[in-house]
Amino acid sequence: MHIINDEQAVYVLSPKNQPVAEVKPGDVIKFITMDCFSNQIKTERDLFSSIGWATINPATGPVAIAGAEPGDTLAVKIDDIQVAEQGVMVTVPEMGALGKILSTTETKIVPIKDGKAIFNDKITIPIDPMIGVIGTAPEKEDIPCGTPGRHGGNMDTKLIKKGSTVYLPVFVPGAMLAMGDLHAVMGDGEVSICGVEIPGQVTVTVDLIKGKQEMWPILETPLAWYTIASAEDLDQAADSALNAMVDFLGKRADFKLNDLVSLLSIAGNLEISQVVDPLKTVRMGIAKEIVQNYNLKF
C-alpha cells in the first residue's frame, strides 16, 4: 500500500501540479488528510477569522496513475475512511446559506466518541464519514480545491463515502488524484458552509477505464448510480446533472429517449449536495434495482 502524507498537499488542482507519487491501476493508496482549515483550528478560541484563505481546503496529493491519459476515466473505490477524535465547525456572518442571520463568528468543537458526533449534551449524531474534496487535475485552468467542477473537486456530496466508487474524467497524463476535506458527518446542502470538519485517513483502490469518459463525475454506491454536476446556481447544476444521467443511461441501455425521460421522472431522484461553495452541486440518482436487468457498468 502506498501512503501519502498530509504534508504533501495542494490548495489548487492544476495541470501544472507535480505528482508526489506514482501508482499503478489496481494499487491501494492511503491518503492522510488535514481538515479543511489545515488543522489550524483546535479550540473554540481559534476563530475562522484568524486563519488565512490561503490555507483553506488542502487536498493531499496529487498522485499520478501510470498509463492514465486524457479521455480515460479514473475509478476511485473508497475502501475505508477513518476520522480523528475531534471535529470542528465554524459559523461566520455572511457566510453560507444562513450567514445573513448570524452576527457573531463562532467555533464549535465536536468530539467524536464511539462512532457518534457529540453535538451537545442532548444531541449525538451517528458519524457517516465522507470526502468533501476529491478530484483529478483540470484540463487547462487552476481550480482552487474549494471549487467543484467536471474534474470533481469540492463536490461536498455525502454519498462519497466508504463503499462508493467515484468515476472522475482524466484530463492530463497521470490523472493527478488528490483528496481532502473529510467530514465526520454532513447534511445535504451543507447549509452553514461546513460539515464536522476533521482530519483523517482515506484508503482507496484506483483503476483506469481506458478511452471512455462521461461529461461529469459519476458516483456508484452499493444501491444507486448518480451523476454529480456543479454550476453557479442550482437550476443550471440540475440541468447538467439530468443531461449527464440521460447520456450515461442512454449509452448503456437501449431506451427510447422519451421512455428514458419518463423513467427518470418516476424513478430518478434529483438531490442537492451542497449550496454553499463557489459553484453549487446537484446529483441525479437512479437505484440499481430499477435498472438491474440492464446490467449497467461504468
Report whether the peptide linkage leading into residue 70 is cis, meaning its omega lies within 30 degrees of zero: no
Each residue 29-48 as x (binds Ca ion by CB under 5 A) or -, in order, gives -------x------------
Cβ proximity to Ca ion, 155 vs 291, nearer residue: 155
Q: Which is nearer to Ca ion, 72 or 190 (CB)?
A: 190
Residue 174 grid coordinates: 497521470
Q: Which is nearer to Ca ion, 185 or 206 (CB)?
A: 185
Binders of Ca ion among residues 167 to 206 (CB under 5 A) are 181, 197
Distance CA 65, CA 44 (A): 40
Q: Which residue has the cell 458519524?
A: 127
What is the smallest separation between the CB atom of 68 and Ca ion, expressed in angstroms?
Answer: 25
Cβ distance to Ca ion smaller for residue 90 or 242: 90
Using the rule CB under 5 A, is 154 a contact of Ca ion?
A: yes
Minimum CB distance to Ca ion, residue 198 (Å) = 9
Look at residues 140, 132, 130, 298 and name the one whose alpha carbon lies nearest to residue 216: 298
Q: Is 153 left (phi over 0), alpha (psi -120 to 50) or beta?
A: left
Q: Are 100 and 59 in contact (CB under 8 A)?
A: no
- Opening angle at CA 280, ends 297 and 11, nearest 5: 90
Which of 6, 128, 156, 271 binds Ca ion (CB under 5 A)? It is 156
Task: Please give the size of the binding site for Ca ion, defined by CB under 5 A.
Answer: 6
Q: Residue 129 and residue 132: Cα distance in Å, rounded?
A: 10
Min dist CB 19 to Ca ion, Å, is 23
**For residues 248 and 148, what is the distance between their CA atoms, to the nearest angstrom?**
20
> Which CB sits closer to Ca ion, 6 or 181?
181
Which of 132, 152, 189, 199: binder of Ca ion (CB under 5 A)?
132
User: In the complex, which residues of this chain contact Ca ion (CB under 5 A)?
Assistant: 36, 132, 154, 156, 181, 197
